[in-house]
Chain A
């Protein structure tokens, strides 16, 4: 758990759709370096792309940057996607997490809103801080059986007032 033991890799790219694929390739390279399995790497590529797509679509009214950090620990990798744009209602977003409800009419299906659900499903742990902009911390453990107890849940970290 000691931060000093982690390798830290930082990327800062424009919050534009054409860079989401570049970040995905980077995730693949770093996760491969860290020793993750093919399926875990593919899951992380999707989760990080979802986080970046949210930044691209929602964070800035005009242009801005997205910062992606990779922290490599002995037993896990943390990927942090952060922006300095406008926040969203995290509590409300969490309430609406879930798969498609097949019992509803097709006309009621929403074309968005699956991104955060996918992130929470594909990663072992996620935390959201919305103090200024959005900071999304996503963790994947190197061995599938070492997951923590709050698997699938989302922790919302709030600054002390």
Chain B
């Protein structure tokens, strides 16, 4: 029931590695890490390879991050989603507004 987050600064993108479950309890932690990065105008890539669970609280954080990168003309990309996680983005239509890549994160 925990969430761990670490990030790496790469050439033109900050990669956020997220592991665990993103729900009402853990989403604030993700928001605290992700939104400031997005608001600073960084290109942000979020690697979700190790995320087993997400619900609308987590989707809300990514919507917030997308709005922040959009306002700063930077880019938010999500990578490495499991089929279960991808399913929620499809059901909610978020897969049509977010950049989702299939590749696994290169750690």
Q: In the complex, which residue of chain A has the Cβ closest to the Cβ of B76? A: A106
Q: In the complex, which residue of chain B has the Cβ closest to the Cβ of A112? A: B60
Q: Interface residues of A: mostly helix, strand, loop or mixed?
A: helix
| With A21-B23, A110-B63: A100-B56 Cβ-Cβ less than 8 Å | no
| Best-buried of A42, A56, A114 by chain B (most CB within 10 Å) | A114
A102 to B1, CA, bound (A): 32
B5 within 8 A of A: no
A95-136 Cβ-contact flags toward B at 8 Å (1 or 0)? 000011110001101111011011001100000000000000
The answer to whether B23 and A109 have CB atoms under 8 Å apart is: no
The answer to whether A17 and B60 have CB atoms under 8 Å apart is: no
Q: Interface residues of B: mostly helix, strand, loop or mixed?
A: helix
The answer to whether A114 and B56 have CB atoms under 8 Å apart is: yes
A20 within 8 A of B: yes
A51 to B102, CA, bound (A): 30
Please, how many residues of chain A have a CB less than 8 angstroms from a CB on the other chain?
A: 32
The answer to whether A115 and B56 have CB atoms under 8 Å apart is: yes
Q: Collect the chain B residues with CB atoms within 8 Å of residue A118's CB.
A: 55-56, 88, 91-92
Q: Collect the chain B residues with CB atoms within 8 Å of residue A114's CB.
A: 56, 59-60, 92
A17-52 Cβ-contact flags toward B at 8 Å (1 or 0)? 110111011000000000000000010011001101
Per CB-CB distance, the 9 closest pairs between chain A and chain B, nearest first, are A99-B93, A102-B96, A21-B1, A100-B93, A111-B60, A17-B25, A17-B24, A114-B56, A106-B70
Interface residue ranges, B against A (CB under 8 Å): 1, 21, 23-25, 53, 55-57, 59-61, 63-64, 66-67, 70-71, 84, 88, 91-94, 96-97
Interface residue ranges, A against B (CB under 8 Å): 17-18, 20-22, 24-25, 42, 45-46, 49-50, 52-53, 56-57, 99-102, 106-107, 109-112, 114-115, 117-118, 121-122
